Structure 1
Amino acid sequence: MFSATITYIIKSARRRWRRLKSLRRVDPIIHGEEVISLPPINTATGPKEFGERGLSHLEKYRRLGTLDHLTEAIECFSRALAMTPDDNPDWQNWLTKLGMTYGERFRRLCTLEDLEKSIEHSSRALASIPDGPDISDRLAILAGSYGDRFRLLGDLEDLDKSIEYNSRALAYTPYGDPAISYRLDNLAASYNNRFQRLGNLDDLKKSIGYNSSALSLTDGNPSLSYRLNNLGGSYMNRFQHLRDLEDLEKSIEYFSRATALTPDWHPDVSSRLTALGGSYDARFQRLGELEDLEKSIEHLSRALASTPDGHPGLPNRLAALGGSYNARFKRLGNPEDLEKSIEYQTRALASTPDGHPDLPARYFNYALSTLSQYDSTSDISHLHTSLHSLRTASHLLSGAPNDKFEYALKWASLASQYPHLNILEAYQAVIDLLPQFLWLGVTANQRRQKLSTTSNLAVSAACAAISSSDYSLALEWLEYARCIAWNQSLMLRSPLDQLQSSHPDLATRLETIANQLHNSTFEVQVVARWSDATTCTPEQAGQQRLRLANEYHSLLTQVRQLPEFEDFLQPVRVNKLIRAARNGPIVVINCHTDRCDALFILPGHDNVEHLHLPNFTDQKAQQARSDLETSLRYMNRGERGVRRQLEESISMDEDRLESVLSVLWNDIVKPVLDYLGYSNDVPSESLPHITWCPTSTLSFLPLHAAGDYTQSRSRVFDYVISSYTPTVTALLDNNPSIPDPDCRHLTVGQANTPGHSPLPGTTQEAAHIKARAHHLAQYSQLLDAQATTTSVLDAMEHHHWVHLACHAHQNVND
């Protein structure tokens, strides 16, 4: 009777609290528990009483945020569960409540153990009754816990499960149910998280769709401003990805509406103002309208004014406002704006704890402001401060690899304008960060997208090293960056794939840590409407990031101690690259927008030699390529196997091709031959061999055919035999002087292809190859009618080398 009375009192207090939302009326009831002894554990009404007490403590926690109440709730639900047989309908209920409460404590303390218990209990509850009236609630709770674990550990499988359970929760929620808008919110957030991680626009499209649906169901609801803000954020994400101005305009529209509906006393007002100020700043950066910058400063100032000291969002708001003031200083030149920019950036830096993932951004923004100080005052000390900040932003262990790579790349760009910023150090930071940026923790789709960011990196870094007369470093950087690009474009095995083959456990652990480090938005935010707290404090987030970063570098050290992995994720050193020159000189031509240079790897030489080619640049190469393509179209020789009608707009200049070949001869090939001493050699039957390794646009031009065809002995093939290689490293793995009896060689020959001109030489060509190769490798061939598309593709799967003596079709659009 006594325990039943307590249960009744607690239930009544909870009902009254929900109705009146007055803590004064519920405090005496809750506090009364402290003086009422708990009933014996074997009392029949015990489980229900503990459960009701747990709910009361949980509601008190949600109202006050007092951690003791959350701990008491977990204890009560645990005892209720322990006292309830698993065939009792309440057993699943207590499992659900316990899983939910552990999830809330995780969001408060950021303890992985709590999160694992939340997933465990929620999964058991769902498995015990796969259907039922509260199935959608159980699915939503489990989805939230998996989403939390993804944000903590970065495992994509957790994110996929979060999407799966959120989708099922939505499917089980009938239309018209008040919870359906929240299900839409959660699913939109999950898809947005996956977009942020994988960059798949389809996920962002779904996120926008679900956000829009949630908004359409919200009319006069207190959640209206929340959903408007979510939709504004989704459009901002898409603008940042696609740069479509319409998305930015929608982002401003929804952020504005959300802010207008948010009263000054609301805990989210500062974050709403920050988002709106950031969107105006983005439009200023895009359109250059000063009015947008003024609005950005206005809203960011209001956001900062409403942010108390110690708030987790304070550093970000200080940094944003400092950036806007720096932009206005650059536009108007008012020294007061620069002073404010420095002030806010300094405060932002000081309020960001060590190890926090945003710390590199703070240093980078501070570097930009101090660089503006140098521009304004010519005080060299400001340049030194900027260099220190740029260096720190690119090297901090806690930063996300994407962010640090971006800062290092911008540092290198700035260093090309300010010599004191040490351009070689900047590019070294870029090269060091390249494997994390492109390989580790990155999907294949992301890697393809990122290649555009690094398209000019290899040539630019090499150009900087060449300008500093460090030719060995130039070759190492050029090779490393180009090898990564070639491996990706040809879908070859990554360094991690190679490690996975021989040391799978180590490779898996390294990839897991890399995935976690790529989660730049590391902190887990509370989404419950009753709290404005941040779950993981900035200090906790920083400590976790540092732990992961230290483990990552420890794993790299272990890998590099393994045989054949000494250079894992590092450039191949020049003392290895020079071994590639076995059959003659290798000439690497670095073709940059500012200059063109040849790097020589010569047999028997230990050093990389250099020749500046002053009459050629990448701009000249682009013009030569355009002229070559125009000439080929004029001669109806564009895409192999395709006949075109002559285009009236094409000039009838038949000398265009000869002009291109003459430019290549005079500006590149002849100076190289002169340097090597080949120009004065007497012709012989045995010509020396050169391997060309061109870069940039020069890769599309025929160096092997260069020459002045109006003069005698003024063509490259008068002096040397030419070959090409995409990288020097590719030649290191090829040693034709050592026959491999297990090597399988396939020759495909077709002299007469329907619809094409005859190729009578292919039969003789195949015979010569067979005579040379059959005793060095396992040789096979497919000739004439045997060489069908299906038979050739099948045979290629089982051969190491394929020689094609037939017509070819090139897809010029791929």
Structure 2
Amino acid sequence: MFTGAEASTFSLLPPSQTPSTVHPQPSPTTQYSEPFSMLRVVRRLFRPTITHSSLRGRYVRLEVISGQDLKVPSERIPAGIHISINVDSRRCWKSAISVLSYEELATWADTVTLPPQASPAFSVEITASYEADRILGSGEVIGKLQLSWHELLNHGDESFNLSFPSVRGVDPSLTLKVAVVRACDDALSDSFIHCKIDRDTDAGHARLVKYVKRKRVSHLKAAVQHFQLVLGQCPVSHPDRAAALTNLAWARLQGYTRNDLQDIDATTSLFREALALRPQHHPDHPLSLYNLTEALNWRHDKESTAADIREAAQLYHELLPLCPEGTYLRSTAAGENGVDYVIGGCNDLPIDASEEGICLLELCPLGHRHRPRALDELAWTLIPCFTQRGNIDDLDESIRFLREAVSLCPEGHFDLAYYLNNLTYSLRPRFDHQGKPNDLDEAISLYKAALRLRPVGHEYCDTSLDTLGQALITRFKIRKDIDDTTRALSLHHEALTLLPPGHAHHDITLHNLALALKIRYDELDVSEDINEAIDLSALCSRFTHTQKNEDVDVEEAITLCQESLIIGGFAFNAPEQIQHNPTDLSLAVDNFRLASGHPTQGFPDRIQIALHWVAEVESHQHDSAFEAYQVCMELFDSHVMTRSSIISRREAATAFRATTYRKLMEQWEAAVAEIRSLQAFSRFLLPPSYADLQAAACHGPVIILIASKYSCSAIIVPTSGDPHHVPLSSITLADLKTLKDRFTRAIRHTSRMNPTEPRTDLIVLLWIVWDEIMLPIVNVLENVLKLKRRSRIWLCPTAAFTSVPLHAAHPFQTRADRSKEPCLEDLFICSYTPTLSALIRSRRMMKKRVSPSFVAIGQGQPGAGKGKALSAVDSELELVHKLIPATATHTTIFGDAATRAGALEGLEENTWVHLACHGKQDPAQPYDSHFVMRDEHLTLLDIMDKHIPHAEFAFLSLSACHTAVGDEETPDEVIHLAAGLQFSGFKSVVGTLWEVDDAVAKHVVEASYTYMFHPKEVGVMDATKAAWALNCATHAVKTKVSLEQRMFHGSLWVLHPGVHQVV
């Protein structure tokens, strides 16, 4: 049965029937989806009516086949669609989630067996889910129907459509099939939603739908309020937090797009946090990417922020490969308001010729309507690159892009002439640079093709006429074909007729026509040509001055113009009128020198300039004659070497040199083999053997992490036995680079946060490091190598791995007994090393120990302009002094004594050093990285220049410095402050990954030295205990600072490549 208004808004039967014709009297106008035989029609007419009582002891098997026209009321993109069937108030069945297609279709083919005895009617509900992984709430209702069992079974064993109330102008429907059976699969479950956040989420969805339909701000505020309540119940570690963030952000975004809310920045931040909680390979990662692009696109639409549209382009570049073809998400993301909008916005911005332009082009695959424009934009950015660098590859690439753009525009395409013309702008510079006539001929053909598409009356007809005329004049200079210059003059005259006086291009066309006439005069000596050229130059000068509205005597300017033409030899060769000014001659020679050596000019033009230089200096007996001849010869050699005949000879010479090289290599290999036959030289010029390298793992396994464009993996070198290869299949080199950038941004953001604020971004990133990098390695260490807890391991990262804090990897999970899953530092004592050989060398050097001596260097009052005062330095030095064994030689350098010279002397005379001051990392010039002293900076180069043969241990407690991590621009494996000290001779260095809170630093310093010198009474200073001491110290800090501080500061301290400690 139907209830209320629902009965008039949907139909259970085929479209030709109505609810009143349920019984066996088919309408004469009934239309079926397939032909029926007479027998089947008779069966329908005389089918017995099924009642609720007749179904006793039987069950109804319902197959949900597919859905059509499944529009979402809120216009939001769902993760998928599912069907719910509620038999009564307690029991329901839910289908699997089906991804919506671009045609708004979904398929299930799910089957459920229902007990009709439970109630006389049941309900069917179509719901949109916004989570593919874990669903928060029931989702957004697309349609809901209440119907009786006999209405359902009236369709017999044939599939039928069930129509639902209209949504956004169309009627959603389901294709179903039913049958009566005698067995039940008991697929029903409890339908009651116990969780408050589920109820609040569903209420928020309902209010948002009302807002979209009725445009009432009160409904939007109610939706935002419900979603805000849900978010308040989902702390950082809650599995539904990402969904709660997304729902709230989407509601706020709808208010922003309709001008009912203004705070788009907060909305974008919510989407960003949700994306951070859904990293790569998460089922909802693509949808979170899309949601963030929507916010960025809307903000760009209203505020035109270049950074937003560029970021959106990068996100789409990541999103589209994750969206299967044919899905609703793919069609929307690749549509007019998605990628097309972003491409249009990026095309209006200056585009970088490297990564940004290529990224934009990849968003426009072959067949995309914006691909020609993207190719054209990228090609144009390469021309200035050629102008600046003189690299012909830039022009070749530009021409390749433009050729493709032209090929994608069929005859009659609106922009074909535009792309043809632009292709000539790349061909002409290449002709000027290389002098190949084919480029000029092709450019002329393209100019002609563009002119045919721009007849008289087209806004750019005059431009096409003029540029074709200039190209023909250029070819005339080479081939002396009089037809070219005649045609060029005709084109210039025609262009001039289309440009009345006062037009912006009138003076340019006058000038070009005058030059063409002058060139023909030079060849044919026709006096009418030079007279007309002079007249045109006068007109051009008059027009230019008139356009600028300058209050000058134009007639006098015309006269001077004519005189300059005569004096300069433009109209008459009158050298006797030239005044021999030595200053002018020297300036002219300088200009000849610059012009003949300019890298962006082609060899033919530069040769002509050099020859002119020779002629002038010979005429005036200038002392640069030898230089001019030398430049000429060099240009001739370079030009001739590019000719085809020379290239053939060059290839022959190359083949001869290759034969000579092979003979030399044979002699080399014989000599090396003879050396290797000598005793103790068997590995001459060979890398160390595995047996030699395994000595690095004598105190614990060494894990080498390798990243390349092909794969990422780890190699574990155990204390004995063969190495173990651990594939890291869930992460790529691109993922690592992204992870590095995200760490840099998260660290920078976290350093500005309140100590009590949750470090969500950092938690997510450290979880990724655990889950995708360290967990597979830990599994091998524990399950294969049977390594015990608190054992030593050495990490040896390479490439992009060096920028990731591997030792801080953390699962952030809670066990069933409410205990925390251990992190990497709970399991093992971690150190780093740059190479296995470095670890072996350090161990050898540690055997040559001398009596330890300790120096603490602190500068809390740097000079003016060198940083703020550090009030905690003095108290830190006092603390260190108390912790050092009394038997050890101990020196403290601070205040005015902590100068560059004083610090260097302390480093030379002691084996242990503690540094507390400002530090400054210089990624561009690593050796200029420095520690701030009272007078001058103490640079890494200063330290490395000193002879410190017995340096053992350094502890860096620096402010305003990241001693072991860079930023987005820092290259992999750059020398940081801590690494620099180790390369300077220190066997072990303790540093930090980023800025450290003073209170946390004090706790770590105190705990580290306490554990290292325990028992203090013995007075033993053993640097080999540093890693164990630091590990104990970081665990001890957990009991003295808040969770948030532990999250940010507790894993900062790392130990640099050395015997026992690493950064």
TM superposition score category, shorter chain reference: 0.3 to 0.5
- Compare CA radii of gyration and give the structure with the larger one: 2
Structure 1 length normalisation: TM-score? Answer: 0.32
The structure carrying a bigger helix percent of its residues is: 1
Between 1 and 2, higher relative CO (CA 8 Å, sep ≥ 6) is seen in 1
